[in-house]
Amino acid sequence: MHKKILVVDDEKNMRWALRKALEKEKYVVYEASNGKEAIEKFNSCNPNLVLLDLKMPAMDGLEALKKIKVLNEEVPIIMITAHGTMETAIEAMKIGALDYISKPFEVEELKVTIQKALGFGALKEELNYLREELEHTTGKQIIGASNQLKNVMDMVERVSKTNATVLILGESGTGKELIANAIHYSSDRKAAPYVKINCGAIPENLIESELFGYEKGAFTGAATRKIGKFERANGGTIFLDEVGELDLGMQVKLLRVLQEKEIERIGGTQPIKIDVRVVAATNRDLFSMVEEGRFREDLYYRLNVIPIQLPPLRERKEDIPLLVNYFLEKFSQEVGKGKIMLEDGVAEKLLQYQWKGNIRELENVIERMVILSDGNKITVNNLPKEILVAEIREEFLLPENGLFMEDLEKNLILQALERTDYNQTKAAQLLGISRHTLIYRMEKYSIKK
């Protein structure tokens, strides 16, 4: 894609000379004869770089520079200065101009200055990419060796080399965002922008402006133009998390983007072509929502080009020990503890638990146990109550002929006391009751050590 350059100069001959020189270098050139016209052209053509003369009628270069920086802080701007305007050029650099070039100048000098400026913009994009890549590779890895996870990663490898829209399905906490990250960072777009948005976390009245942006004056409070998420992701990938939370009105607008490959800012009059790879995710059953009329069928099929179903953690239990070891190491380092081990029986209970919150729940449980553990060993007493209660529910089934609740309660109290060597505080924790309640019930059932 050829870079776009906006040339702003009140001298017609200068604009003509710059256009001819830059078009030979395969740049797309736009022209403006003063600062006011420059703002209008900038809004319409969204250039990659601006060549801006300092001395112009209607609106001078400094004023135009300030207004362009409000519209787009990142765009590189090169000031064109004349003899005796050096101090003004330095002032422009302080405001935000990237560089300046003094008249008269050689065409080759201008070309080098432009290349450096565009290279600087590319470097900023690369740094942003590297920051996200670092985040991706440190502390946010995909852990597991189960066949289910291998099948998912095989699918990721196959689809990442395409531009196909992907729909990631799975329960909350299964790692849908990590899979979206893997798709982007394994694709040819990995050096381009990667923009994420949680559709369920933004109020309905704000989601359109977040996705598509708005023009200055589009509504009360719109003091400047805002670039939306789709436009920021141009050339790269946008991740629409919790896409099932979009209302029907936004679904129509998203469908148009997927069909036409263009967006329109709120208050805008011209469609803007975009090249964005869409990855969406949801923990909802979109097919059922379609049948109920809560999700558009045409949008469902647009999103569901390549579906990737993530299995819940309870269906790939062989991955639990790997995840436990990973989180143990991670959180022990964070809290400054040495290597932390699990006491006999703890790992078994972690395997038996159903993990309705999936990997996110497992991560939270390990972090809590590491923080609350004494020394470098996690014991059964460090296990959260919900895991112990779940174990009791699985072990005890109501007999066909029923039972006496008091006998069951007494039996459980005895088990808890024996397991903790009659430590009343620890036994109460195992039972999920207070120590005073335990003492009362011990007296009720005449239980003594």
C-alpha 315/C-alpha 354 separation (Å) is 9
199 DSSP β-pair partners = none
Q: Specify if 326 maps to a domain.
A: yes
Residue of 378, 389, 371 whose CA lies nearest to 347: 378
pLDDT recorded at residue 391: 59
CB of 39 within 8 A of CB of 50? no
pLDDT recorded at residue 138: 37
Residue of 155, 165, 132 whose CA lies nearest to 279: 165
C-alpha 107/C-alpha 11 separation (Å) is 17
C-alpha 6/C-alpha 324 separation (Å) is 55
pLDDT recorded at residue 392: 55
DSSP reduced 3-state for 251 = helix
280 DSSP β-pair partners = 167, 240
Output the tens digit of pLDDT for each of the chain's 449 residues. Answer: 678 999 999 999 999 999 999 999 999 999 999 988 999 899 888 899 999 998 888 788 888 998 898 888 788 999 988 755 667 777 888 888 888 888 888 888 888 889 888 877 666 555 555 555 544 443 357 888 899 999 999 999 999 999 999 999 999 999 999 999 999 999 999 889 999 999 999 988 899 999 999 988 888 888 888 889 999 999 999 999 999 999 999 999 999 999 999 999 999 888 999 999 999 999 999 999 999 999 999 999 999 999 999 999 999 999 999 999 999 999 998 888 888 889 888 998 999 899 999 999 999 999 999 998 888 889 988 998 888 876 555 555 666 777 778 888 898 899 989 888 899 988 888 888 888 889 989 988 899 87
DSSP reduced 3-state for 160 = helix
Same domain, residue pair 304 and 324: no
Same domain, residue pair 156 and 287: yes
With vertex at residue 77, the alpha carbon angle to CA 74 and CA 82, rounded to the nearest 5 degrees, is: 160
Rounded to 10°, the helix 176-185/107-137 angle is: 150
pLDDT recorded at residue 136: 47
Same domain, residue pair 109 and 235: no
In this structure, what token pair is assigned to residue 77? Answer: 């701007």
CB of 264 within 8 A of CB of 250? no
Q: Specify if 47 maps to a domain.
A: yes
Same domain, residue pair 192 and 87: no
pLDDT recorded at residue 137: 45
In this structure, what token pair is assigned to residue 134? Answer: 């670092």
Sign of CA dihedral 390, 395, 399, 400: positive
Same domain, residue pair 305 and 332: no
DSSP reduced 3-state for 108 = helix
In this structure, what token pair is assigned to residue 13? Answer: 């001959």
Q: Specify if 128 maps to a domain.
A: no
Q: Specify if 412 maps to a domain.
A: yes
CB of 243 within 8 A of CB of 303? yes
Q: What's the burial of 429, exposed, middle or buried (CB within 10 Å: 0-12/13-18/19+)?
A: buried
Same domain, residue pair 66 and 175: no
Pairing of strands 237-241, 194-198: parallel
Domain of residue 364 covers 314-395
Same domain, residue pair 155 and 276: yes
In this structure, what token pair is assigned to residue 342? Answer: 């699990």
Rounded to 10°, the helix 107-137/12-24 angle is: 60
Same domain, residue pair 273 and 342: no
C-alpha 253/C-alpha 250 separation (Å) is 5
CATH assignment of the domain containing 443: 1.10.10.60
In this structure, what token pair is assigned to residue 53? Answer: 């003369």
Same domain, residue pair 177 and 297: yes
Residue of 366, 368, 353 whose CA lies nearest to 313: 353
Same domain, residue pair 150 and 263: yes
How many domains does the structure of the chain reveal? Answer: 4
